[in-house]
A and B are shown apart, each in its own frame.
Chain A
């Protein structure tokens, strides 16, 4: 347990989603204990003691977006509802507790909310996420909270602009200091076509790690695959892309074995992409600016309400096609293959980016970086324009 706490505390720092010095994780096996910074660790213990769950993360996010979302919301509002896929599918909505509502029953207040949801925002304190059966699960839920609040805040800014005191300056600090240049030029890749099992597994593990380290995907989302002969080597469902060794399934193209039942939920999409083009590698991540920009739609008089799954159009962000479609058997596997064959890249509405390569993983990783950089530039161009208006 302590080893897991150390691992996921380190991940919260490595992925820059939590503030150093304000991270705690509590677990309960037969005993309950919290590890980490105070007062977060004490609070984590108090909350978890009231829940039928194994682990809890309390951490102050490295960005103020969750708190800003609370302050921007109407006084009667009790939860935020981001539109991205991670939230829509797994979190539904994110309840919050305002600073003025907090009293000496705070642990009880938080536990009550966590009795119904995987995570909660507590203004001034941070993001609090529960893991029903593992520490990793608490980390994953924290990570999804961070991702969804990031996406929601940036999305709202484009529509509503800044309106809180000192909000623009706070955001400027994020833009200047938190955001890092996104490059891939310094990365090493295995050259040529990947054909041998060991080489494929090694390269998938390496590129998966690059994808996480570059912030192109969070927690256990995203997937990666390589086609070799009659096999698709694909990351398993719920596998973290930075921890892939032992978590890659070889799936026969002809479905002569069902061991791939544990493969990524996007196996069908990967298969269809391989069947409909020349790709031999596929990478899928959730880069945040691409997710934000994919939901920016300027259609007027459109009757589609559930855009993320029902939008029939192919829109473009630069030269990257954007399509709708839900995870797994929900439609993405039909919509992505027809549009990705040419450009080797496609964005799924509110979800993430798929990129392909002819041989090796350099091409898909660099393509994903290129898509995200274009979306980042375009986001700030539009935000700046909004400010000028």
Chain B
């Protein structure tokens, strides 16, 4: 077998035992790896409570990991989210995935709960657990520094230990397994960190074919202004989007009360370049290197983080925003949900937080002290507790990122159909509604968007299972990646075949969610977007969304997916028919 190792390392933290199991080849072919394989491996566990010790926390790499396929050194972490209650996965880069593959595993599956804090060390010969009492309570950088000699580190910070519902798992290189609170699950299992290292190399079935496909991908990267253009992601990182979102009048401001923030120029890509002298940084083997760090190695915020600590909270101070971002990374906490929850609280109390207050609030959230106890639950629960549920700008309890849905109607629909809650990355309509890739679509029209979103969800589910970075697809397509996959594994794949796999993954996720009570009533945007206009100007009108058109398009989406009008499965035997 090439591409895959076919091996899963299972670790039970309750018993301290581990085993190595074979993954049936049929499952690898049908679900690829990453998100798809992780979701499949949740079949027997998807109804477990997020804090049930038996709930698995699955780290799953893809068949392209370990090869020189561009942007493929990634993994997905899959479980059930304590924040949203949905099936949950998050793709992350860094070096951890590459080293897990080098150790000889496609999957690391962790169950149980250790009686005391532990560190899990994974290598060529299996797994070992070590006491981690001395690291418990420590910030991420201290934990990583203590462990990195042994390999790549994935660790939680105080937020994960204290059960903050949007706690991250942080990769030692600064990447995060973010949004859905999987750090809290790791904390509940008393697993402070995982260290991986390995010495194996991946074998490619058809090296020459692989090189040709790789050259095709690189040619498309170079032809994409968004990736390698002089104003693109390789140069400025995702903060390149700050100016664009301002110009398009879709930058969420003051907890989504507005969509335009006059002072966003203070933290735009060029401002960050001027003030922070960033250097390129990024995932193992990635040619884009979109992450940016200061010369001293401090990771600079991504677009979503800079905009939410900025416009969403009415803060224009770049240094305060960078500090907030760094603090979240240290505490092991999701920047988008943290900033959005603080913004909702700001609107609820009639006063947004000042730049110099932000650090203290974030500390209290991670420690669950004072108001932090309220905010650590995320905006939906916190606002319900304050009797202001309408102020939580979330879908399925996941706080919306920095793309206002009134400025991109496909985005509005995609936030709702996403199986993990209000996320921009499941269908990533920003690529065509704003960035014009692969072609431009009318961002103020719902026409065709149900089908477009379904296709994009399928495509991205396949991408998350290869795994490759979404940014690759601002230049390349599944055509080139199917060729890379076929060359690496020796198994023929086509773009159409990959989309069919993606469809299977999306429907499986939806099935799990429906089994846990999700339906059309959860595929809802906050009322604000249907009743309040955004910040029109410069000839761009940002009216409220048309609820009737939105509902029509959502029903179209259900029909395309073969679901009932309630967004559920008419066929209860769906899962049994899947591989």
Contact = CB atoms under 8 A, between A and B. Distances in A.
Interface stretch (A110-118, A157-165, A210-218): A110-118
A83 to B, nearest CB: 14
B231 A328 contact: no
Given A134-B448, A140-B439, A330-B223, A30 B560 contact: yes
A328 B432 contact: no
B225 A263 contact: yes
Interface stretch (B59-67, B169-177, B489-497): B489-497
Given A52-B455, A329-B229, A265 B436 contact: no
A122 interface: no
B438 A133 contact: yes
Most buried by A among B225, B231, B435: B225
B222 A330 contact: yes
Given A237-B225, A263-B229, A256 B244 contact: no
A251 B247 CA distance: 12
Given A1-B447, A92-B216, A92-B479, A134 B439 contact: yes
B492 to A, nearest CB: 9
B270 interface: yes
Contact of B556 (A30, A90, A92, A256): A30
A238 interface: yes
Nearest to A137: B439
A282 to B, nearest CB: 16
A258 B496 contact: no
Contacts of B494: 115-116
B222 A258 contact: no
B495 A115 contact: yes
A265 B228 CA distance: 9
Given A260-B231, A261-B231, A267-B229, A133 B219 contact: no
Interface string B220-259: 1011111011111000100011111001000000000000
B274 to A, nearest CB: 9
Interface string A193-221: 00000000000000000000000000010
B27 to A, nearest CB: 22
A51 interface: yes
B231 A258 contact: yes
Nearest to B480: A92
Contacts of B73: none
Nearest to A92: B216
Nearest to B435: A262
Chain B at the A interface: SS class: helix
B89 interface: no
Contacts of B482: 116
Contact of B456 (A30, A133, A247): A133
Contacts of B226: 237, 261-262
B222 A261 contact: no
A236 interface: yes
A28 interface: yes
B436 A238 contact: yes
B503 interface: yes
A5 to B, nearest CB: 11
Most buried by A among B216, B219, B220, B241: B219
A183 interface: no
Nearest to A88: B219
Nearest to A256: B270
Interface of A: 1, 27-30, 51-54, 88-90, 92, 111, 114-118, 131-134, 136-137, 140, 220, 236-239, 247, 251, 255-265, 267-268, 271, 326-330
7 contacts: A28-B451, A29-B448, A29-B450, A52-B496, A92-B216, A133-B448, A258-B268
Given A30-B451, A115-B495, A133-B456, 17 more contacts: A92-B216, A116-B482, A116-B494, A132-B455, A133-B441, A133-B452, A237-B436, A251-B231, A255-B270, A256-B270, A257-B243, A258-B242, A258-B243, A267-B229, A327-B219, A328-B224, A328-B225
Which 6 pairs show the lowest CB-CB distances between chains A and B? Answer: A115-B496, A329-B228, A330-B222, A327-B223, A116-B494, A30-B556
